[in-house]
Structure 1
Amino acid sequence: MNNDFVERLKTLIDHYELSPSLFADRIGMQRSSISHLLNGRNRPSLDFVMKVIKTFPEVNIYWLLNGKGSFPGQSKNGGDEDNIEASPLPPKKISISEGKKPIRIVVFYEDGTFEDFEPKK
């Protein structure tokens, strides 16, 4: 996954005509973290992925993570024959385990966008 992810990350940075340093600044990450990702030294964290998707909402999370789906400026399937087609999910009740209090809920949509919900304090 790591080499393919690095290539998609480079594609994303090139698409927005940013240097790795400017990309890091734009998403609010340390420049060294982006350098380590691009060199294959580190794997992407959930925090990194969420910052990319929040900063660039048109980026499809499925494309970013595993190359499936599409990316702005590419064909619908981005050259990948295993394109993910979203299917409607049946409604599901969410139950919270007794004694546990959720701190954050993230809902991902089929278009690659998401909403982040945190309880009011």
Structure 2
Amino acid sequence: MINTEEFVIRLQKVIDHYGESASSFAEKIGVQRSSISHILSGRNKPSLDFVLKVLASFPDVELYWLLNGKGHFPSEEKHPEVATVSKVRTTTENETGAKTAVKTNLGIQDKSIERIVIFYTDGSFKNFEDS
């Protein structure tokens, strides 16, 4: 069971973060303005459908954060791990195969990689250029 008062505070943070008014927020998630007003005033509790519409319209909002305050908002950007790239490079047969595998892991399509730079915590780096 969620704490409605705390949910309202988090919902207001979402609305403020995106610079929306209650009306424009309602329009973006596809609910009536009165639904937002009733939830923000504490008159009504948010329905599952309402929560799902918020999550679908604003991908930076994490479900657990919105419901119970656990997690982050806006959600932290997820970066590919260096270990994943290293693993891809060591499991491929040749340089062309490595580049293809790296592009697939990073979600890059129909573009060629010119250079990959790996930065280490000691301040050094390694540069891989297409030759």
Give 1:73 shift: 7.6
Question: More relative contact order in 1 or in 2 (CA 8 Å, sep 6+)?
Answer: 1
Pair 23,29 (structure 1): closer, same or farther in 2 beyond 3 Å: same
Could you tell me which runs of 5 or more consecutive residues in structure 2 were left unpaired when the two chains were aligned: 77-131
- Residue in 1 aligned with 2:31? 29
Of 12, 15, 20, 1:13 maps to 15
Residues 22-47 of structure 1 deviation map (CA, whole Å, 9 limit, x = unaligned): 00000000000000000000001000
C-alpha distance in 1 between matches for 2:75 and 2:57:
17
- Residue in 2 aligned with 1:4? 6
Instruction: Tell me how many residue pairs correspond in the alignment.
Output: 74
C-alpha distance in 2 between matches for 1:18 and 1:61:
20
Pair 73,65 (structure 1): closer, same or farther in 2 beyond 3 Å: closer
Identity level (%): 62
- Extract structure 1 runs of 4+ deviating beyond 6 A: none
- Residue in 2 aligned with 1:100? none
Larger-gyration structure (1/2): 2
Pair 70,40 (structure 1): closer, same or farther in 2 beyond 3 Å: same
C-alpha distance in 2 between matches for 1:73 and 1:55:
14
Instruction: Calculate the aligned-residue CA RMSD, in Å.
Output: 1.3
One-letter code of the match for 1:11? Answer: K
One-letter code of the match for 1:60? Answer: E
Larger proportion of helix: 2
Give 1:57 shift: 1.2
Residues 39-81 of structure 1 deviation map (CA, whole Å, 9 limit, x = unaligned): 000001000000000001111000000000000188xxxxxxx
Q: Give the TM-score normalised by the residue count of structure 1.
A: 0.59
C-alpha distance in 1 between matches for 2:51 and 2:69:
14
- Residue in 1 aligned with 2:42? 40
- Residue in 2 aligned with 1:54? 56
One-letter code of the match for 2:39? Answer: L
